[in-house]
Structure formats: structure tokens, C-alpha cells
Amino acid sequence: MKAVTQQSAMTQQFIPLRDAFLRWQCRVRQISMRENFGRPDDAIKPRLTLNTDSEPIGDIITVLSRTPSYSKTPEMRHMVQSIFDPSQRREKAIQFFSEIYYQKFLQFSDTLTAAFSPNSPVAEAICAAKASSLTFENYGQRFDLDCSVSTLTKNNPLFQATWWHNKLFNPHLLPGTVILGFEPDWSRSSAEPNFTTNIIGELE
């Protein structure tokens, strides 16, 4: 997948909209962990509209993962495999993500991921459309991302990062879970207000 194989080039290239979005995402996800016990809100659950439709088909829960160079997937996998009580595992995960995980936005891939149950008709419809838009709106900020969509294979680093991230919060995650990658076309995406920093300031 291009988003994985070209991460080094991406992080060296200045794309204002992408960088503004990643900075915002890191901050709102840190807030979710610190103040909402990891519960996703509209800044993490975008409205999804297929390129063949004019109306959203619903909200999806997205995961923002680090690039392979900065991956913390081994640490997430270790927590899942070593902490057997689901409530303790969730508590440890919230602590892990609340601290420094989201501190540096340039360590993250701009490809968002989402998990769907096996044989999900929604996932099938998204894949059939091949492209969709994601609308994130919260904290006085909106981003509309025009994305290409692909099904991630199990050996894809973003699949692994998403799987172990979700397993920390959902002990019943099914083996056949489908994970889709949403890769934004930044030239066709937008923000309103444009590149705002009024939301929540810098990461702390």
C-alpha cells in the first residue's frame, strides 16, 4: 500500500492540510484518552459517504496509527497477551495512550483505518465503491477527507497496529475481522476553518 511504503517520503514533505489534520487528530485522541476514558467522539468517528452516494451511510470508528518507523505495536501486543482481565487491560491501555503516544504528529501515518465484523455488508459496500469521503467535525473544527479505500492484509503494519489497538479495548474482536485503510487525497480534501489552531492548542 502506498501509504505504508512511502511513509519516509511523506514525513519529509510539507503538506499543510495533512499536517494540520494529524496535529488535530493527535490532540483530540489524547483528550479522548485523558478525559473520556477512551470513548470515541465525533472527532474520531467521522461520517462516511461513498463516492456513489450523496448522503452519509453512517459513522465509523477510526484508528490513527504510527508509521512503521515509530510503531508501538509490539507494546500493544504485549499488553494484550500479558493482561488477562479486560478491565485492567483497558485501564493500562488508557494510561499508555494518555501519556506520550500522541505527542508527535509527524510519527503518524495519514492513512486511517477502521475495523468491521467478518462478512460485513458495510465493509463490502465501502470496498465496492473504492472511494469515499470522511467528515470529522468537533471542537469547532471540520475536516472533509476524500479517500481511496483498500482492504489491508494481515501482514500490513497498519493492519497489525489496528488489530492490537482494538484488541486492547475489545476482548471479543473476531479472528476474521476486516480492516480497511482510508488514504486521503490531500489535494481534494479540505478543512473549515482552514488550518485552525484554536481547538485545543499544542500537545502537552
Q: Where are the domains of the chain?
A: 2-184
Give me the pLDDT at residue 84, please: 96
Mean pLDDT over 102-114 rounds to 97
Domain at 2-184: CATH code? 2.30.110
* Contact of 83 with 89, CB cutoff 8 Å: yes
- The whole-angstrom separation of Cα 70 and Cα 90 is 22
Please choose, from the candidates 110, 114, 146, 133, the residue with its C-alpha nearest in 3D space to the C-alpha of residue 21: 110
Q: Residue 12: its pLDDT value, please?
A: 54
pTM for the predicted model, two decimal places = 0.89
Residue 97 has pLDDT above 90, yes or no: yes
Q: Does residue 24 sit in helix, strand or coil?
A: helix
DSSP state of 45: S
